Amino acid sequence: MTDQPIKFYQTGTFTVGNRLLSPEQRSVQSNMRRTNSLNSGHRACQGCGEALGARYAIDAAMEATERRLIAANATGCLEVFSTPYPETSWQIPWIHSLFGNAAAVGTGIAAALRVRGQTDVRVIAQGGDGGTTDIGFACLSGMFERNDDVLYICYDNGGYMNTGVQRSSATPPAARTSTTMPVGKGTGSAFGMGKFVPAIAMAHEIPYVATATVADLRGLEAKIRRAMEFRGARYVHILVPCPLGWGHASEQTIRIARLARETGLFPEFEAESGNVTGVTRIRRQLPVEEYLRPQHRFAHLFRDPPRADLIAQIQALADRNICRYGLLARQEAER
Amino acid sequence: MKRKPFAITLDPGSSLANHTGTWRTLRPEYVDNLPPCNDACPAGENIQGWLYLAESGEYEAAWRRLTDDNPLPAVMGRVCYHPCETACNRAKLDSAVGINSVERFLGDEALRLGWKFRAPVESSGKNVLVVGAGPSGLSAAYHLARLGHRVTIREAGPLAGGMMRFGIPKYRMPRNILDAEIARILALGITLLTNARVDNKLEAMRDGSFDAAFLAVGAHVARRAYIPAGSAARVLDAVSVLKGMEGEEPAKLGRRVIVYGGGNTAVDVARTAKRLGATEAIIVYRRTREKMPAHDSEVEEALQEGILIKWLSTIRKANDRSITIEKMTLDEKGQAQPTGEVEELAADSLVLALGQDVDLSLLEGVPGLEVVDGVVKVGADMMTGHAGIFAGGDMVPAERTVTVAVGHGKQAARHIDAWLRGRRHVPASRHELATFERLNTWYYSDAPKSVAPVLDMLRRQSTFEEVVGGLDESTARYEARRCLSCGNCFECDNCYGVCPDNAIVKLGPGQRYQINLDYCKGCGLCEAECPCGAIRMVPEEI
């Protein structure tokens, strides 16, 4: 994947573009003719990670499918900020139906295309973590088990952000949301709850599952491209920091996503038919405090006295990920 | 009117109608900040600029950018003490970019492929006299010629080069390289008169009907110190020893050579003595290594070659076959004080390297000229107290290095040019410094510094072959690519990529970017993720 530099190119593939690379090695986002599938003028907050992740993913999918793409969208921030009636920011065929049925609408579109014999047009269903891990979960699992020819993309910002930051089943432990206030001895969002949908998707043994963040554009684009090489149900889960809900400065969006990976809290990997086939390793490992401290949703961990016990529990979660997915680079990969 | 679906009353529109730029309280702006290497370069090179071109293999363009400021890259790539590398931000990441070795590569490449300077477009019709063909004089002549003036250099010595030839030994500065770079400067149409010492400045000006003059006679007079010496004691000075190396016969120094002094010249003489066959070459210096004015890299190389250094010692007496040294100690103010404890060192010769003075006799009778501490006072425009006479290099108050001298030559040429045209040269204001803190170093690949090849020790101790080798093409390019491009956009597309609002417009290769303020919400992601700190956020006026 991205961690095998053969020649030295100043910034290698870390930056979006690189004038020293040959054109075929360059990212979709560096192209002057990228599709800008999610156009300017949308009403996402300043520094929105989801708007960024959606453009990264859909532009890459457009490139991979020669611009033959239809998207179904669940209710959520992405839908609300992109399509206030009668405007739309989408520059692709795009449909919104309900909060919980994006996967089912995707299935329907795929079925219609199959009936019409149109194999060149590909289908994406997408939504936030609320519409995916909670409300749309049954439709999603159904789409997986039937192996419908749809790529489902979940933009995970860890909560219901456009309705006022309520907890979802993707909200991390100890995070403060409006429904998990750390009152008294409370911890914020409870430990031992929630679910990691990429692992559940893998359990369906669908052709392709991947996780990505907005901090690693090359990895994200490679995964979307790879997903489009398969037929059948595919799932890509993208971590998209939310300046509003996470309480960090708007310019910190990418840095926070990077810290999520570098601490081990968010593992970036690929899996085919239920087996992990690739892992993006940690480049410079950091303790979880580095990730937690800039986010106001974890501010209660750093009051006087700090909640060292909770920070240690979160570190244990990171260490478990590092061990489970093999996130630390071996010596030779480090060079 | 087209029939609309049920319950739909408005035509579908694009969100482009929604100018989200109105949300903004901070506005991103592209800046070009001053990279620390450029800031530190005494010759005023645009180092980041030429490294940028070298990164993509455009070596000739890089060389042209480099020689806009410095006509001697192959020389500079060998003898410069590279303050740029000391200032380099990459040192805080792993180690400084090997700027000096890339410069040398470009200089050597230019000589190998015969690149020539472009001649000036039009002539000004003015005549300028340059006195002295050292680095400062050559640099001034080069810049003046490129600005369209007719230049005559008068050099007292038999060959051009000044201290580059008569002060820096061959193992650091091969003469064929020096000759080639000088010849390329002279090919701009500059007249060089050698063995043409100027005895009287004003007469020389009048005779040649020169409109202006640049003086750069250097500092060639060895400073002496009184040391009681026996009748058969052999006491020489460093300047004549090094100069003698260029003549028919090198000075006879014997098997055991003592050098007195702590500057680069002392180190040069000791290393030269070693190569001439001395079994022992000892530098005697009255203070400590930290206080030694010689550059650390040279001291290090000398020690590697087996040169011994006696710290905290002064020379009391030169006897016929030995010298007497006295131990010193540092007092609480850090000053060296004698202890009275003496030691005898066997010695065939003693070389004094105690500094050099300027021979100012040619300036006698020039009105308005001011001499302070043996050097000529000049203004910020490099002009002496006498209108039309400028000076630079070792004869004016400054650090005495080739690089400083080249810088003086450039500055003086610009002021002379303006003065001849009845204008004033106002140097461009300096941009804000591109500090390490403004970089986002995550984006740079990890890459340790490449090491230039070094001659093996036996040949270093016995021959005058060049000690430090050059980089090959791929290594030089690698080294150039280690540049972080501090404070100057290198078109990495990060801002274009990370904007959630597509508010950055990419203008194409070499054209950089523009910000579409109709949609920029001022989130600051572009600034935070710019690797090199070429974007800043400024408050909007509300």
Assigned domain for B438 exists: no
Residues B247 and B361 in one domain: no
Number of independent structural domains in chain B: 4
Which residues on chain B are in Cβ contact (under 8 Å) with A19?
Answer: 56, 490-492, 509
Looking at residue A193, its pLDDT comes to 94
- Asked if A9 reaches chain B (Cβ–Cβ under 8 Å), the answer is yes
Looking at residue B92, its pLDDT comes to 94
Q: Answer for the pair B51, B97: CB distance below 8 angstroms, yes or no.
A: yes
Q: Answer for the pair B237, B417: CB distance below 8 angstroms, yes or no.
A: no
Range of the domain at B279: 223-355
Task: Cis check for the bond before A305: say yes or no (omega within 30 of 0).
Answer: yes
Domain boundary among B304, B322, B355: B355
User: At what angle are helices B264-275 and B296-304 packed, to 10 degrees?
Assistant: 20
Residues B393 and B494 in one domain: no
Pick from A9, A47, A87: CB nearest B14: A87
Assigned domain for A2 exists: no
Residues B172 and B89 in one domain: no
Residues 57-86 of A with CB under 8 A from B: 82, 85-86
User: At what angle are helices B175-186 and B135-146 packed, to 10 degrees?
Assistant: 30
Assigned domain for A85 exists: yes
B61 Rama class: left (phi>0) / alpha (psi -120 to 50) / beta: alpha
Which residues on chain A are in Cβ contact (under 8 Å) with B22?
Answer: none
Looking at residue A220, its pLDDT comes to 97
- Six-digit token pair at B212? 């202006």
Higher pLDDT, A2 or B216: B216
Report the length, in residues, of chain A.
335
Residues B202 and B242 in one domain: no
Which residues on chain B are in Cβ contact (under 8 Å) with A32?
Answer: 506, 508
- Asked if A286 reaches chain B (Cβ–Cβ under 8 Å), the answer is no
Which residues on chain A are in Cβ contact (under 8 Å) with B483?
Answer: 10
Q: Answer for the pair B499, B530: CB distance below 8 angstroms, yes or no.
A: no
Residue B106's SS3 state is helix
Assigned domain for B324 exists: yes
Residue B425's SS3 state is coil
Residues B28 and B137 in one domain: no
Assigned domain for B4 exists: no
- Six-digit token pair at B488? 């100057």
Task: Kindly tell me if the per-residue pLDDT of A1 is higher than 60.
Answer: no
CATH of the domain at B312: 3.50.50.60
Residues 19-58 of A with CB under 8 A from B: 19-20, 27, 29-30, 32, 36, 38-44, 46-49, 51-52, 55
Q: Answer for the pair B450, B475: CB distance below 8 angstroms, yes or no.
A: yes
- Name the band, by pLDDT with cuts 50, 70 and 90, for residue A330: low
Looking at residue A316, its pLDDT comes to 97
How many H-runs (helices) and E-runs (strands) does chain B carry? 18, 22
Q: Answer for the pair B76, B402: CB distance below 8 angstroms, yes or no.
A: yes
Residues B374 and B361 in one domain: yes
Under an 8 A CB cutoff, do A251 and B482 touch?
Answer: no
- Gap from A46 CA to chain B (nearest CA, Å): 5
Contacts for B455 with CB less than 8 Å, ≥ 6 apart = B465, B466, B467, B468, B469
Range of the domain at A146: 31-334
C-alpha distances out from residue B31 to A307, B28, B495, B523, Å: 43, 10, 13, 18
State the Cα–Cα distance between residues B241 and B224, nearest whole angstrom: 14
Pairing of strands B513-515, B504-506: antiparallel
- Asked if A229 reaches chain B (Cβ–Cβ under 8 Å), the answer is no
Residues B271 and B316 in one domain: yes
Residue B526 CB neighbour total at 10 angstroms: 25
Q: State the best of A3, A8, A15 to mutate against chain B, taking most chain B CBs within 10 Å.
A: A15
Q: Answer for the pair B267, B356: CB distance below 8 angstroms, yes or no.
A: no
CATH of the domain at A42: 3.40.50.970
* Residue with the two structure tokens 């482009």: B16
State the Cα–Cα distance between residues B489 and B497, nearest whole angstrom: 14
Looking at residue B265, its pLDDT comes to 93
A66 Rama class: left (phi>0) / alpha (psi -120 to 50) / beta: left
- Six-digit token pair at A129? 């973590």
Residues B348 and B363 in one domain: no
State the Cα–Cα distance between residues B300 and B176, nearest whole angstrom: 26
Number of independent structural domains in chain A: 1
C-alpha distances out from residue A74 to A70, A86, A125, A128, A155, Å: 14, 18, 8, 7, 11
State the Cα–Cα distance between residues A244 and A221, nearest whole angstrom: 26
Task: Kindly tell me if the per-residue pLDDT of A329 is higher than 80.
Answer: no
What's the average model confidence in pLDDT over B508-525? 95
Residues B267 and B327 in one domain: yes
Helix or strand (DSSP H, E) at B30: strand B26-30
ipTM reported for the complex, 2 dp: 0.93
Q: State the best of A27, A40, A248 to mutate against chain B, taking most chain B CBs within 10 Å.
A: A40
List helix spans (H) across B276-428: 296-304, 402-420
State the Cα–Cα distance between residues A95 and A261, nearest whole angstrom: 32
The whole model's pTM is what?
0.91
pLDDT in tens, B137-189: 999 999 999 999 999 999 999 999 999 999 999 999 999 999 999 999 999 99
Look at residues B122, B140, B121 and name the one whose alpha carbon lies nearest to residue B69: B140
List helix spans (H) across B252-333: 264-275, 296-304
- Asked if A254 reaches chain B (Cβ–Cβ under 8 Å), the answer is yes
Assigned domain for B497 exists: yes
Higher pLDDT, B6 or B300: B300
Count A/B contacts: CB-CB distance under 8 Å: 160
Lowest mean pLDDT among A167-181, A254-268, B373-387: B373-387
pLDDT in tens, B265-282: 999 999 999 999 899 999
Q: State the best of A25, A43, A46 to mutate against chain B, taking most chain B CBs within 10 Å.
A: A46
Residues B211 and B235 in one domain: no
- Asked if A329 reaches chain B (Cβ–Cβ under 8 Å), the answer is no
What chain B residue is nearest to A81 in terms of C-alpha separation? B15
Residues B268 and B346 in one domain: yes
Task: Kindly tell me if the per-residue pLDDT of B233 is higher than 90.
Answer: no
Assigned domain for B432 exists: no
Separation of CA A142 from chain center: 21
Q: Answer for the pair B511, B56: CB distance below 8 angstroms, yes or no.
A: no
Which residues on chain B are in Cβ contact (under 8 Å) with A220?
Answer: none
What chain A residue is nearest to B512 in terms of C-alpha separation? A19
Residues 186-205 of A with CB under 8 A from B: none
- Six-digit token pair at B231? 């009748």
Assigned domain for A7 exists: no
* Residue with the two structure tokens 């919104």: A96
What chain B residue is nearest to A217 in terms of C-alpha separation? B497
- Gap from B27 CA to chain A (nearest CA, Å): 12
Which residues on chain A are in Cβ contact (under 8 Å) with B482?
Answer: 10
Under an 8 A CB cutoff, do B15 and A89 touch?
Answer: yes
What chain A residue is nearest to B28 in terms of C-alpha separation? A251
CATH of the domain at B55: 1.10.1060.10
B386 Rama class: left (phi>0) / alpha (psi -120 to 50) / beta: beta
Task: Kindly tell me if the per-residue pLDDT of B312 is higher than 50.
Answer: yes
Looking at residue A4, its pLDDT comes to 38
Phi, psi of A208 (to 5 degrees): -150, 130
State the Cα–Cα distance between residues A323 and A219, nearest whole angstrom: 21
Look at residues B66, B43, B71, B44 and name the one whose alpha carbon lies nearest to residue B183: B71
Assigned domain for B121 exists: no
Under an 8 A CB cutoff, do A11 and B445 touch?
Answer: yes
Which residues on chain B are in Cβ contact (under 8 Å) with A40?
Answer: 15-16, 20, 501-503, 516, 518-519
State the Cα–Cα distance between residues A297 and A166, nearest whole angstrom: 12
What chain B residue is nearest to A54 in terms of C-alpha separation? B500
Assigned domain for B388 exists: yes
Q: Where are the beta strands (DSSP E) in chain A?
A: 69-73, 87-88, 94-96, 122-128, 151-156, 208-213, 234-239, 269-272, 275-279
Lowest mean pLDDT among A5-9, A317-321, B348-352: A5-9
Under an 8 A CB cutoff, do A20 and B519 touch?
Answer: no
Assigned domain for B437 exists: no
Amino acid at B418: A
Assigned domain for A16 exists: no
Residues B185 and B88 in one domain: no
* Residue with the two structure tokens 């050698």: B194
Q: State the best of B507, B521, B536 to mutate against chain A, taking most chain A CBs within 10 Å.
A: B521
Residue A86's SS3 state is coil
- Provide the greatest CA pair distance for chain B: 119
